[in-house]
Amino acid sequence: MKKNSSGIEIQNIYNEFNGDNTPAGQFPFKRGVREDMYRGRLWTMRQYAGFSTAEESNKRYHYLLNQGTTGLSVAFDLPTQIGYDSDHAMSEGEVGKVGVAIDSLSDMETLFNGITLENVTTSMTINATASTLLSMYVALAKKQGADLSKIGGTIQNDLLKEYAARGTYIYPVRPSMRIITDIFEWCSQELPKWNTISISGYHIREAGSTAVQELAFTLANGKAYVESAIEKGLDINVFGKRLSFFFNAHNDFFEEISKFRAARVLWAQIMKDLGATDPKAMMCRFHTQTGGSTLTAQQPENNITRVTLQALSAVLGGTQSLHTNGYDEALNLPTEKAARIALRTQQIIGYESGVVNTVDPLGGSYYVESLTDSMVQNAKALMNEIDKMGGAVSAVEKGWMQEEIARSSYEFQKSMESKEQIIVGVNQFQTEESGEAPSFKIDDSIRQQQSEKIQQIKNQRNSNEVQNNLEKLSQACQNGENLMPKILESVESYATLGEIADTMRNVFGEYQIL
């Protein structure tokens, strides 16, 4: 019997399926979160970008907007993600390398120079320092004179998956959960259109999980965030509407489509069981990115085909937002040409393929319906195991999720080495490589540039005001007060990201690997 990557047996032919046929836009939303889906509005076409300095990233954002992207998606460098300024010793060799370096509000002002924040939605892939980067974004919006009730976007803000799969954490698990729910609470009052978290399965899958594990672990993490917010006294029907998800799209076309449909069914039931009564609070709205780990350095042009199939699976699965990877990303940061081809891939699917003309066009397929049901049942079984451990927080603290992901990654590697799993151009159909792919590298001199900017900011700002605001933040960390107003005040006085993170480190400590 043939099996897919999640171990689900695939029959030779499917002849029937007795499943739910509820229309799109109605609980449990298997067929989509909107009644008309893409007939009314296409998904938001994003291109994940950020590199070097704020000046250079700003140029790429203007380029992408001119090419027809309909939302911005910001990548931050590793020092920014883990709370170190560019001039910190820990930042050496990493400044501007996998994203843009943001050290203060001044950098954020440069990053969005010439872009009116009221007119664009921005997704920021940031977690441990999400509260600070969001505060910088809000401070900039205020300086632009924006109506904060109209500002839309998303912060990833998902720390549980960092402990399980990715590693850009700072604080221990429990303080991180507190910061996340502080953001939920503050945004519900100050930033009503902002998606306060993007609960991410993407990095879980990139770390080597199966599709079912990606689904189960992501939704279990989401459940933990909701329970934490309820415990804080927040209204699930209010904050529940601003939760979003972030999934991966890998190469098994029908498995991915079924995964997306299953996610909506499972999340709707989870939210209903937790007390949600507003249908909008039960909807699983998600962004999708094509699979970075599926891209190959060998025969990189083949990645255009991979990305196209993955993007199509996301659209057929009902995504609300999509990023398509550049074909050269296994070699370097995406060049402008690669980014343009990736965006054009989305545009061709949206405007030429015809797949958007009807809602859930694969609904009723014996195979897709059966596979969707199998994904639901298999993910439920994993989530039940997590519940028995005390929930996702406990599963992460015990290292269980990490071990399960590592085991699946090992099994995939074995299957590739044995050629049970064929990767075109890697373990089969190889060719002698000729020529060089376009190269886009970041120079180490970026760190010096950023360090000079930091020193200039420190020379110009009111140091007493900065210290007073950081002290207020420290006190809020200790007394349980919502942290967001204090972080915003610190940001507006041009405290650096590292200074804010260090203030919180001094109270909360740092997470230690078991």
Q: Tell me the mean pLDDT in the region 270-276.
A: 98
CB 195 within 8 A of CB 244: yes
Number of domains in the chain: 1
Question: Residue 436 has what pLDDT?
Answer: 59
| pLDDT the model gives residue 499 | 98
Let me know if residue 117 belongs to a domain: yes
Whether the predicted pLDDT of 19 surpasses 90:
no
| In a domain? residue 423 | no
Domain span at 119: 29-417
Q: Convert the pLDDT of each residue in 282-291 to its tens digit.
A: 999 999 999 9
In a domain, 489, yes or no: no
Per-residue model confidence as pLDDT tens digits over 336-361: 899 899 999 999 999 999 999 999 99
Give the confidence band of 439 by pLDDT, cuts at 50, 70, 90. low
DSSP 487: H
What was the pLDDT predicted at 2?
83
Exposed, middle or buried: residue 394 (CB in 10 Å: 0-12, 13-18, 19+)?
Answer: middle
Q: Is the pLDDT of residue 11 over 70?
A: yes
Residue 461 belongs to some domain of the structure: no
Lowest mean pLDDT, pick from 233-247, 297-311, 434-448:
434-448
- For residue 513, tell me if it sits in a domain: no
Residues 180, 184: Cα–Cα separation, whole Å: 6
**Per-residue pLDDT band at 221 (split at 50, 70, 90):** very high
Distance of CA 30 to the CA centre of its chain: 22
332 domain-assigned: yes
- Residue 435 makes CB contacts below 8 A (sequence gap 6+) with none
- Taking 60 as the threshold, does the pLDDT of residue 435 lie above it? no
Contacts of 501 (CB under 8 A, 6+ apart): 82, 83, 84, 128, 129, 132, 170
- pLDDT for 50 equals 79
Return the number of other C-beta atoms located less than 10 Å from residue 174's C-beta: 11
- Domain for residue 218, yes or no? yes
In 10 A of CB 133, how many CB atoms?
Answer: 25
Query: In this structure, how many other beta carbons lie within 10 angstroms of the beta carbon of residue 453?
Result: 20
47-86 pLDDT, tens digit each: 877 788 999 999 999 998 999 888 888 999 999 999 999 9
SS3 call for 20: coil
The candidate with the shortest Cα–Cα distance to 478, out of 450, 502, 508, is 508
**pLDDT above 70: residue 418:** yes
Helix, strand or coil, per DSSP, at residue 142:
helix
Provide the edge-to-edge strand list for the sheet that holds 153-155: 194-195, 153-155, 122-125, 71-75, 44-49, 321-323, 286-290, 243-249, 197-200
For the stretch 89-126, pLDDT in tens is: 999 999 998 899 999 999 999 999 999 999 999 999 99
pLDDT(434) > 60: no
Q: Is residue 151 part of a domain?
A: yes
pLDDT at residue 492, as a whole number = 98
pLDDT over threshold 80, residue 305: yes
Give which of 452, 338, 495, 365 is closest to 30, Cα–Cα: 365
**Cβ–Cβ < 8 Å for 122, 71:** yes
pLDDT value, residue 445: 85
DSSP secondary structure string for all residues of 54-103: HHHHHHHHHHHHHHT--EEEEEB-HHHHTT--TTSGGGTTTTTSSSB---
Question: What is the share, in percent, of the chain residues with pLDDT greater than 90?
Answer: 85
Residue 47: the pLDDT is 82
- What CATH number is associated with residue 277? 3.20.20.240
- Residue 442's pLDDT is 67
Q: Name the pTM for this structure.
A: 0.91
Angle among Cα 205, 214, 237 to the nearest 5 degrees reads 130
Considering Cα of 397, then 399, then 401, then 402, what sign does the dihedral take? positive
> CB burial class (10 A; 0-12, 13-18, 19+) of residue 430?
exposed
The residue type at 193:
K
- Using CA atoms, how far apart are residues 140 and 11, in angstroms rounded to an integer? 55
Say if CB 182 and CB 222 are below 8 A apart.
no
Lowest mean pLDDT among 4-13, 101-110, 207-216, 263-272: 4-13
Q: Is 246 helix (H, G, I), strand (E, B) or coil?
A: strand
Tokens 């007060």, residue located: 481
Give the mean pLDDT of the chain. Answer: 94
Could you identify the residue written with the tokens 């151009």? Answer: 425
Task: Please tell me which of 13-17, 162-166, 226-230, 332-336 the model is most confident about, judged by mean pLDDT.
Answer: 226-230
| Partners of residue 124 on adjacent β-strands | 74, 155
Nearest to 107 by CA among 484, 452, 442: 452
